[in-house]
Chain A
Amino acid sequence: MRFYCFHLMPWPYLPADFAQRYDSAWVTCPNTLYDPEPGHVLYNRYLDELELADALGFEGVCVNEHHQNAYGLMPSPNIMAACLARRTRQAKLVILGNVLPLYDHPQRVAEEIAMLDVITRGRVISGMVVGTGMEYFSYNINPTYARERFHEAHDLILKAWTTPGPFSWLGKHYRFRYLNPWPKPYQKPHPPIWIPGSGSPETMEWVAQKRYTYMVLPTLAPFELRRQSAAYFRECCEKAGYTARHEQIGWGIGIYVAETDAQARREYEPHFWYYARNLLKTPPQLSLPPGHTSLPTMLSMAERRLKSRPGGLRTWEEVEKGGYVVVGSPETVRQRLEAYAKEVGFGLLIANFSVGSVPHELTRKSMTLFAQEVMPKLRPLNTDPPAAADAGGTP
Chain B
Amino acid sequence: MHETTLDLRGLQVRLLRGGRGLPLLYLHDTFTLAWLPVHNRLATACEVFFPVHPGCAGAAGLEHFDDLEDLVFYYLDLCEALHLERPVLLGASLGGWLAAEMAVRYSHLLRGLVLVGALGLHLPAAPATDLFRLDPAQVRAALFADPTAPLAQRLVPDTPDPAALPSLLQARQMLARFAWQFPDNPKLARYLYRVRLPTLIVWGAQDGVVPPAHGQAYQEAIAGSQLVVLPQCGHLPHAEQPEAFARVVLDWLARLTP
Contacts and interface: CB of A to CB of B under 8 A. Distances in A.
Interface string B151-167: 00000000000000110
B11 interface: no
Contact of A143 (B133, B135, B180): B180
Interface of A: 27-28, 137, 140, 142-144, 283-286, 289-291, 295, 298-299
B135 A295 contact: no
Given A142-B176, A144-B177, A144-B180, A290 B169 contact: yes
Interface in B45-95: 62
B176 A144 contact: yes
B102 interface: no
A27 B166 CA distance: 27
Chain B interface size, as a band, is 10 to 19
B199 interface: no
Contact of A291 (B165, B166, B177, B182): B177
A137 B180 CA distance: 9
A236 B154 CA distance: 40
Contacts of B134: 285
Contact of B181 (A28, A140, A284, A298): A140
Of the candidates B135, B169, B180, the one having the most CB atoms from chain A within 10 angstroms of its own CB is B180
Interface in B93-135: 132-135
A290 B176 contact: yes
Contacts, number: 44
B165 A299 contact: yes
Contacts of B170: 295
Shortest beta-carbon contacts, A-B, top 10: A290-B176, A290-B172, A290-B173, A142-B180, A144-B177, A291-B173, A140-B181, A144-B176, A144-B173, A289-B132
B133 A285 contact: yes
Nearest to B180: A142
Contact of A289 (B135, B165, B166, B176): B176
Given A285-B133, A285-B135, A295 B177 contact: no
B142 interface: no
A295 B182 CA distance: 23
A299 B167 CA distance: 11
Contacts of B176: 142-144, 289-291
Contact of B133 (A142, A286, A295, A298): A286
B133 to A, nearest CB: 7
B166 A295 contact: yes
B223 to A, nearest CB: 34
